[in-house]
Amino acid sequence: MEVNVKGKFAGRMATMQRSFIREILKVAQDPNVISFAGGLPNPDYFPIEPLRVAADKVLAGQGARALQYAPTLGNPELRQFIAERYQTTCGLDVPADDILITNGSQQGLELVAKILLDPGDHVILESPSYLGGIQACSLFQPRFVTTPLLADGPDTAVLAQHAAHPQAKLLYALPNFQNPTGITYSASKREEVAAILQENELFFIEDDPYRELRFMGEDLPPITVYGRRRAFLLGSFSKIVAPGFRMGWIVAQPELMDKLIIAKQASDLHSNYVSQLIIAQYLQDNDLDAHIATIRQAYGRQRALMVAMIEELFPADVQYTLPEGGMFLWLTLPNGMSAMRLFETAVKRNVVFVPGDPFHVDGTGQNTLRLNFSNCDAAEIETGMTRLAEVLREALIRKP
């Protein structure tokens, strides 16, 4: 018997939608479909055997203790590793007690939104912005305001204007190889953003899952190095070890961490502890830098091939970003051309991408799309980009 549940759900669910990207991934399960849609690391570089060895060591050495409940903050050795890595890679001094292990950085987004946002608070987003961040904040019914992304980071004049609003509470940003555009903030833009945050006493989520995936250019420090008082720095092992562990973290000052711990205890008590132990053992026994170097080289080759295919096959009036790392390219189609309609045609040719609409909260972006270059080998990139180029040319011929 069908049950009428209309009006029974919380009001916050009225505007919530399923993730468009997660729905696309269902289509991509077809082995005939070449997918540039998901933000997926390449499974060819998952360290399967070292992780198996680490898992055996954990279970053999710790037995039932590895399977028991654990502290909310997470495994001390894993948190210490993260703290030391921040010090050595970017000069950020973080005590291990200022690190909370989370179920992926996505849970980190949701926890920060939960402790900060009341309905009507202003959340400043990059435009376009990461869909997962938009979803995590949307549950708490803020008002989104957007700052355009330029080639070197946000339009800081617009950012400063939004930050000065009395209801402005939070800036959410991905300064390194941004999802979806691949854009990286310049050093000067990082300093400008830090100054705006400090002047207006805004909270700041610095979502940084791609920082280690730089394959061109020079490393730049997180914006958080300029001040941690109201900052939440998010990281993840999903891109540099394996996403199936769902293992991320939040860096925050003690007064912020206290609220995060309360929120996490209400959510899940603690993150998967045996996975934390396995990752900690893997990191102890293996050279993470060598592993990351392999991933960087592979993604750099894949990005270069995708760009070469665009330059060779795509119409000249299709614009694209040139990321120095990460996993994504961002395309802008000619004005008046719909990426959503292009997607509908592309699916029939067994190639998929993500139209730009879900990454915008202001109704713009209909002529934009995201391509993922990390999860396809060279043959798949060549075949998929050839199919996509054909779809594009045909769409331009039909365009009035």
Whether residue 40 sits in one domain with residue 132: no
Confidence of residue 397 (pLDDT cuts 50, 70, 90): confident
- What is the C-alpha separation between 215 and 30, in angstroms, rounded? 31
Q: Are strands 168-173 and 203-207 parallel, antiparallel or unpaired?
A: parallel
Confidence of residue 3 (pLDDT cuts 50, 70, 90): low
CATH number at residue 144: 3.40.640.10
Whether residue 258 sits in one domain with residue 231: yes
Question: Which residue, 328, 374, 323, 333, is CA-closest to 183?
Answer: 323
pLDDT at 38 over 90: no
Whether residue 155 sits in one domain with residue 67: yes
Residue 324 near residue 214 (C-beta atoms within 8 A): yes
Residue 223 near residue 192 (C-beta atoms within 8 A): no
- What is the C-alpha separation between 242 and 288, in angstroms, rounded? 12
Domain range for 338: 13-46+290-398
Comparing 74-88, 216-230, 384-398, the range with the smallest average pLDDT is 384-398
- Structure letter (DSSP) for residue 42: P
Whether residue 331 sits in one domain with residue 372: yes
Q: For residue 39, give both structure tokens.
A: 């933000």
Whether residue 256 sits in one domain with residue 303: no
Confidence of residue 32 (pLDDT cuts 50, 70, 90): confident
- What is the C-alpha separation between 303 and 381, in angstroms, rounded? 10
Whether residue 238 sits in one domain with residue 138: yes
Q: How many residues does the chain have?
A: 400
Whether residue 81 sits in one domain with residue 155: yes
Looking at 221, 253, 285, the residue that finishes a domain is 285
Render pLDDT for 339-392 as a digit per residue (tens, 0 to 9).
999 999 999 999 999 999 999 998 889 999 999 999 999 999 999 999 999 999
Is 1 a domain residue?
Answer: no
Render pLDDT for 52-70 as a digit per residue (tens, 0 to 9).
999 999 999 999 999 999 9
